[in-house]
Amino acid sequence: MVIFLVTVACTLIEGTFGRPDDFRFPADVAYALTGSGKASEPNFPLLRDFTSLLCGFLVVTGFALLHRNWHHVSTALTQLRESRTIVPRLVPRSNVFSRVLGIDRLLAGDEGTALDRLDHKFGGVTARTKLVLSGSVVVGSFIFATLLANGLSQNAFRVFAPRGVSAAEQAAWIETAKQNWWAGPEHPLGVVIYSVLAFLAMVLIFTFNVVGVLTVYFSVALYFAADLRADWYNRDGRFGWTPVARVYRTAYWALVVLGTAIAVLIAALGSSVPISVLGLILLYVLLAPVYTLVPWLCFRTVERAAKEARVAELSELLADVDERDLGQVQPLVAEFARTNAARIRPMRLRTVPFGAFATVVLLPIVLTGLQIFAQIGPGSR
Tens place of pLDDT for every residue, the chain, 381 residues? Answer: 677 788 888 888 888 898 888 888 788 777 776 666 677 788 889 988 888 888 888 888 888 888 898 889 888 989 999 999 999 998 899 999 999 999 999 888 877 788 888 888 877 767 777 788 888 889 888 888 887 777 777 667 877 888 777 888 888 888 888 888 888 888 889 888 888 888 888 898 888 888 888 889 999 999 999 999 999 999 988 999 999 999 988 888 888 888 778 777 776 665 566 666 777 777 777 888 888 888 888 888 899 999 999 999 999 888 887 777 777 888 888 999 999 999 998 877 655 555 555 555 665 666 555 555 544 444 444
3-state SS class at 114: helix
Can you say how many angstroms the Cα of residue 311 is from the centroid of all Cα atoms in its chain? 37
Can you say how many angstroms the Cα of residue 46 is from the centroid of all Cα atoms in its chain? 27
What is the distance between the alpha carbons of residues 292 and 272, in angstroms, rounded to a whole number?
A: 30
Residues present in the chain in total: 381
pTM: 0.79
Is the dihedral angle over the CA atoms 263, 265, 270, 272 positive or is it negative? negative
Q: Angle, to 10 degrees, between the axis of helix 127-155 and the axis of helix 242-269? A: 30
Helix residue ranges per DSSP H, the chain: 2-14, 25-34, 50-82, 96-100, 103-107, 114-123, 127-155, 167-179, 188-225, 242-269, 275-299, 302-319, 326-341, 354-372
